[in-house]
Structure 1
Amino acid sequence: MAEAERSDLSIGRGGDSQIVTFFLADEEFGVDILLVKEIIRPAPITEVPNTLSYVEGVINLRGKVVPVVDLRKRLYLPASPQDKSTRIMIIEMQERTTGFILDSVSKVITLPKDSIQAAPDMITVGVDSEYILGVSRVEDGGDRLIILLDFSKILTETERDEIGHLE
């Protein structure tokens, strides 16, 4: 994996990480900024028949065809209509580019790596624990709990290959 594609997050290790925070189903999540290529407003999505249930289709991103996954559906969270704050986060991992639909993007924050802890079983907010890298408490005028997702596990290798054929 190229250096720019690798997540730099780890539980309980020294140093700092920059995290892009976003919302899904009123919960705040985060992903290592090194995985995020860009964040865009929703573009017209072309549906693709006979694909996985959580794949909304593909978008044209400056001439490149990018598959788009509804992250709510993938994480088995309740559906919600898109609105003006909906965004598509473009993630590049393992030489594949995929868009993920988010309710909204919050901001980029810096987390000390030693603030990242394993997620307690009760804090999985209905999200399969295998997708959760850890949690971190952020005290920036309020007391927020950010659930850090492991995007390398959001899609299995087989799913990545199937979605990759849409490019």
Structure 2
Amino acid sequence: MHEHQNNKEAVNIVIFTLAGDYFAVDVKNIREILMFREISPIPKTPSFIEGVINLRGHIIGIVDLRKYFDLKVSPTDKDTRIMIVRLKDALLGLIVDSVIEVVSLTREAIESAPAVVSSQIDNNLVSSVAKIGDNMVMILDLESVLGEEQVKHLVEIRNTPRL
């Protein structure tokens, strides 16, 4: 784990990859990170909703962030992960190409997102950026990424009785 100064104002982020780009979310939003596993599809849902998994008796809706951002989707491999995140009162799973590491940054090391962060990602979804080594990491605002409508849809999926 990288330590970028020992500061009470440190922010811990989980860095992951999507289609070759580096992204991160605040570690406070992460419940756990899973190896990729079989996902039960759900008909008549948006294409980025892959389906659901049963995680220790909890039904978790799964979103493929690559499809959500309209990025190139690679076949799943040994590095593909499902990040279980808590958003509002729901647990959601996010498929990512790989999880790199947890990094502790000072608030000074994190900058507001510039006007053009990536031509493929809506700037409203990127809360800030950080340069880590030679890589620019886009820190996502999960509440913006999975807006009210999508979260409501996934919560409804989670609460649907299983046959």
TM-score by length of 2: 0.89
Structure 1 segments of 4 or more deviating over 4 A? none
Query: Which residue among 127, 136, 146 is the counterpart of 1:145?
Result: 136
Structure 1: gaps (5+ residues): 1-13
CA distance in 1, matches of 2:24, 2:87: 16
Partner of residue 3, structure 1: none
Alpha-carbon deviations, 1:88-114, whole Å to 9, x = none? 000011000000000000000001111
Quote how far apart the aligned CAs of 1:125 are: 4.4
Amino acid at match of 1:103: D
Task: Show CA shifts across 1:142-163 (max 9, x none).
Answer: 3221110110111111111111
For 1:164, the equivalent position in structure 2 comes to 155
Q: Which runs of 5+ in 2 are unaligned?
A: 1-7, 159-163
Alignment of 1:15-164 (within 5 A): 15-138=9-132, 142-164=133-155
Identity between Structure 1 and Structure 2 (%): 36
Letter in 2 for 1:24: L
Task: Confirm or deny: 8 A CA contact 2:80 2:95 kept in the other structure.
Answer: yes
Q: TM-score, structure 1 length as denominator?
A: 0.86
**SS of the residue 2:136 aligns to:** strand
Aligned length: 151
- Structure 1 position 123, deviation (Å): 2.3
For 1:166, what is the secondary structure of its paired residue?
helix
Q: 1:119 Cα deviation (Å)?
A: 1.8
Partner of 2:4: none
